[in-house]
């Protein structure tokens, strides 16, 4: 009696591309992935079942399955691989008319909606133009030193602390907008970088919308420009997509995915023994 088992393609992680964010370790149902010396993730092929959850959740596109080219090699180009152009255009448009800043709200709502519906970080992996831009500048243009991501940037207190800080600044921006709407405060035609440095931006204001609409635009463009600059700095100092480690949107979508995963585990029914082991016995 000969026994043939279903061939399982194991996960392979590119050390060069891995940013050691730990996303893969959190979704692996078999705990087959660990972070080696805080530098990159490694897979225990004895435990890996080839479920591809790690590949789907990796923001740095560093995971492929056996038989595929590792890293970003061999990836067929699609329309969504050029979304970095949209990110560049967005920042440029803010120099001419600040009202274009409103378009950036798409980068807030789309990732959340996708993660709620699919329970995955599909947006981060496939449609994040900013992440693509960092990869392009870091890898293709060789602007990145490609050093390992510091442990402090990968720590939970920093990741969640940055999220709380970012949301606090966002709420503060909404309050300022509300004051202008109620005519308690006046419109400030400035862009604030790193929540500290105020730059005159009146050249991008044309007075074609209500003051509160413009105030929100100035505040939101400040957030988008600041986060892009922070991402660019860590891209240069460390690996290209280090920003993905503590990106507030990435953190929020990851939390949503964890909640969805728990919900699915509660709702799933036990499998039959025949479903657990996929094999064919040939006599």
14 band by pLDDT with thresholds 50, 70 and 90: confident
Q: How confident is the model at residue 271, as a pLDDT?
A: 47
- Looking at CATH, the fold of the domain delimited by 2-76 is given as Alpha-Beta Plaits (3.30.70)
Tokens 């490694």 found at: 42
Q: How confident is the model at residue 265, as a pLDDT?
A: 63
> From the CB of residue 45, how many other CB atoms can be counted at a distance below 10 Å?
13
pLDDT greater than 60 at residue 72: no
Q: How confident is the model at residue 77, as a pLDDT?
A: 74
pTM above 0.85, yes or no: no
Q: How confident is the model at residue 206, as a pLDDT?
A: 94
Strand 197-200 relative to strand 279-282: parallel, antiparallel, unpaired?
unpaired
Lowest mean pLDDT among 22-26, 49-53, 240-244: 22-26
Question: In the chain, pLDDT over 90 holds for what percent of residues?
Answer: 52
- Cα 79 to Cα 76, 91, 119, 223, 230: the distances in Å are 10, 20, 23, 27, 27
> From the CB of residue 145, how many other CB atoms can be counted at a distance below 10 Å?
12
pLDDT greater than 80 at residue 279: no
CB 62 within 8 A of CB 14: yes
pLDDT greater than 50 at residue 197: yes
pLDDT greater than 50 at residue 34: yes
Q: How confident is the model at residue 5, as a pLDDT?
A: 52
Q: Using CA of residue 168, residue 230, residue 225, residue 135, what is the dihedral sign?
A: negative
pLDDT greater than 60 at residue 165: yes
Q: How confident is the model at residue 277, as a pLDDT?
A: 40
pLDDT greater than 70 at residue 272: no
- What's the pLDDT tens digit per position in 98-147? 999 999 999 999 999 998 998 888 888 789 999 999 999 998 899 999 88
Q: How confident is the model at residue 270, as a pLDDT?
A: 53
Tokens of 179: 């004051």
Q: Please choose, from the candidates 47, 68, 72, the residue with its C-alpha nearest in 3D space to the C-alpha of residue 59.
A: 72
Q: How confident is the model at residue 260, as a pLDDT?
A: 80
Residue 20 burial (CB < 10 Å; 0-12/13-18/19+)? buried
80: left (phi over 0), alpha (psi -120 to 50) or beta: alpha
- What's the pLDDT tens digit per position in 232-246? 999 999 989 999 999
197 three-class SS: strand
Pairwise CA distance, residues 138 & 260, whole Å: 33
CB 144 within 8 A of CB 236: yes
> What are the residues whose beta carbons fall under 8 Å from the beta carbon of 50, sequence distance 6 or more?
8, 9, 10, 11, 65
CB 121 within 8 A of CB 56: yes
Lowest mean pLDDT among 147-151, 201-205, 261-265: 261-265
Tokens of 51: 């479920």
Give the dihedral of Cα atoms 226, 227, 233, 236; nearest 10 deg. -140
Q: How many Cα atoms occupy the beta-carbon half-sphere of 217 within 13 Å?
A: 28
Sequence ranges of the domains in the chain:
2-76, 79-260
Exposure string for 74-88, b = 16+ CB within 10 A, e = fewer: eeeeeeebebbebbe
Pairwise CA distance, residues 22 & 39, whole Å: 10
117 three-class SS: helix
């Amino acid at each position: 009696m000969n026994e043939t088992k279903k061939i399982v393609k194991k996960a392979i992680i590119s050390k060069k591309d891995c940013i050691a964010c730990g996303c893969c370790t959190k979704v692996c149902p078999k705990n087959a992935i660990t972070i080696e010396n805080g530098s990159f993730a490694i897979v225990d092929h004895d435990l890996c079942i080839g479920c591809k959850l790690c590949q789907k959740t990796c923001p740095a596109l560093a995971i492929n399955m056996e038989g595929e080219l590792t890293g970003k090699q061999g990836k067929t180009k699609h329309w969504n691989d050029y979304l970095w152009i949209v990110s560049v255009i967005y920042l440029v448009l803010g120099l001419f008319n600040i009202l274009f800043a409103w378009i950036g709200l798409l980068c807030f709502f789309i990732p959340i909606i996708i993660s709620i519906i699919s329970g995955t970080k599909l947006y981060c992996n496939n449609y994040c133009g900013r992440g693509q831009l960092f990869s392009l500048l870091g890898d293709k243009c060789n602007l990145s030193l490609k050093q390992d991501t510091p442990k402090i940037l990968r720590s939970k207190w920093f990741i969640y602390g940055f999220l709380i800080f970012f949301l606090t600044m966002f709420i503060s921006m909404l309050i300022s907008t509300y004051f202008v709407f109620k005519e308690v405060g006046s419109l400030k035609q400035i862009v604030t970088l790193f929540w500290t440095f105020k730059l005159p931006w009146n050249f991008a204001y044309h007075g074609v919308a209500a003051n509160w609409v413009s105030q929100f635009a100035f505040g939101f463009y400040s957030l988008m420009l600041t986060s892009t600059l922070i991402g660019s700095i860590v891209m240069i100092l460390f690996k290209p997509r280090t920003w993905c480690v503590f990106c507030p949107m990435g953190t929020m979508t990851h939390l949503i995915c964890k909640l969805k995963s728990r919900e699915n585990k509660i709702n799933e029914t036990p499998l039959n023994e025949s479903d657990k082991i996929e094999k064919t016995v040939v006599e």
